[in-house]
Chain A
């Protein structure tokens, strides 16, 4: 235990006195956060959907619906004639136009299906997605209340999460996952790549302690860096860009810890399997790039073409990103959280086993 603490202290000092290492570890991931934060997600303005509504006069259900929409704070509601509103949509002054047919209330009470048209600008991808889901929720809620015989349509819907969901909110957990992956891959592979470090190791082997002590200290050191890095990225995201943080620091730290362990172990596996230093560098990049772009760090997994799906669902970063998005910002799960954790745990066990089996000390 004394030896473990001595070595951990030594390698910590060695790391934290290295300005280059500090830069790449802590400043570099923040570049991503700032770039995406300012360019894509930026600003504090909230999305307010400009919705044109064409409502039949004197229909109580339609009137209630419009009032609910006005009061929700999600929409800026414009009421008008069909043609005028559609023209406004074409001109870019509306995000969507909702056409409520005449006799809405009557049809609904008789149990007839009613078609409600929603026009939107297909070019505005993200906005349209949000618009569709929010409007759909309104209609469902309205129908439920109307049929349930509850009081007329005073809606207090909960599409607030959708409203506040900006690209940076989506991306921040992904960037965090990516930097955990790269910390594991690059810093561990460095053990093999920097042959001079081997000579340092040899001197430690000559001392009266098991080799495991050194490994344990090294893993602790790297996981410590990972937690610090995660804390910094999360803090910048929350404080600078107002990323909505769900406030479950313990759960999130647990996910970060599992992710860090998995990728440190992954790095050891790469180092163990690489026949030479050059091969090690190439192997690290071969792992790094697909994971960076196929694991939903920068865009949702659904955008990926179907042929790539099996690959996407095999990569551990997919699950780490998903778990972080769920625990940090409460994003819609790709798979349930326990599946994420189970898959990461599985990768951890497999890579650790391979590392133990194939690791060469010299």
Chain B
């Protein structure tokens, strides 16, 4: 049982001149929900597609459930639950027919009634797929990943493009899987999703892992400070934020500045004074707990955006 479910060592994948994945290594343990976090183009999808046997890596070692993934490793494919980014379906088949069809491609399968229940599509089971909403389709894609009762689920951007309500509904489904002792590897570019769902995350940027660990540890490791978001109504001008009391780092980001402070009360006082003296066009001041977003911002100097 000590053997990791997924083992990635120095994986490299190139497309022509572009190195999409650049020597990344990580492992996923049994029963874990592991997140690959990063902006679009960071190499998340390429990584999971190598693990699924849909792409062949240029370099590095991969082990999934103790096997080497390849396009023809059907024994491994039979044990994997796969949800691809933007799954398209045979649009005129119903939800039930789609699940039954894919079920017949696997040696082991779960009951269709159980699956639709799990992803809350019971009422839609007789609807053609083309009549489903985006959120419903995405839930169907997750149900398809569960069709063979897999040991490992690989979900690629399961909540991309969904409204907050649909996203939360899907989070519930994924959390439920944890109760079933499944191992889940998912990719996302939503920081709050990674924080809410994942036991551990790897943050990817330009094909490299820039941080790896449980979200609270990553945050604690990078931040003894508290982030203060200073929103401005105009550019800040001459103000030297890093000279303010308690501030260790100041990261400007468009019309706002994030101040990382070891003494937030002193910093707030100093910022208010500057605003009162008319030296700072202050619109809002928010103090919050540090998040993965801050870790990413700290490490890359950018925010993750779509």
Contact = CB atoms under 8 A, between A and B. Distances in A.
A17 B84 contact: no
A147 interface: no
Interface in A70-94: none
B92 A3 contact: no
Interface of B: 52-54, 71-72, 74-78, 80, 82, 84, 86-93, 97-98, 100-102, 104-107, 128, 144
Interface in A307-341: none
Given A14-B92, A202-B54, 11 more contacts: A3-B104, A6-B101, A7-B105, A13-B93, A18-B92, A199-B87, A203-B82, A204-B105, A206-B53, A206-B82, A207-B105
A305 interface: no
A188 B239 CA distance: 66
A2 B74 contact: no
29 contacts: A3-B105, A10-B93, A10-B98, A10-B101, A13-B92, A13-B93, A17-B128, A18-B92, A196-B88, A199-B84, A199-B87, A200-B88, A200-B90, A202-B84, A203-B87, A203-B88, A204-B105, A205-B54, A206-B54, A206-B80, A206-B82, A206-B84, A207-B77, A207-B102, A208-B76, A208-B77, A208-B106, A209-B74, A210-B72
A208 B78 contact: yes
Contact of A14 (B90, B102, B107): B90
Residue in A7, A196, A204, A208 whose Cβ sees the most chain B Cβ within 10 Å: A208
Contacts of B90: 10-11, 13-14, 200
B54 A2 contact: no
A157 to B, nearest CB: 58
Contacts of B71: 205
B88 A199 contact: yes
A202 B53 CA distance: 11
Contacts, number: 72
Contact of A207 (B75, B93, B106): B106
A249 to B, nearest CB: 32
Interface in A199-245: 199-200, 202-210
Contacts of B104: 2-3, 5-6
Nearest to B75: A208
Contacts of A7: 101, 105
A197 interface: yes
Contacts of A203: 82, 84, 87-89, 102, 144
Contacts of A5: 104
Nearest to A198: B88
A254 interface: no
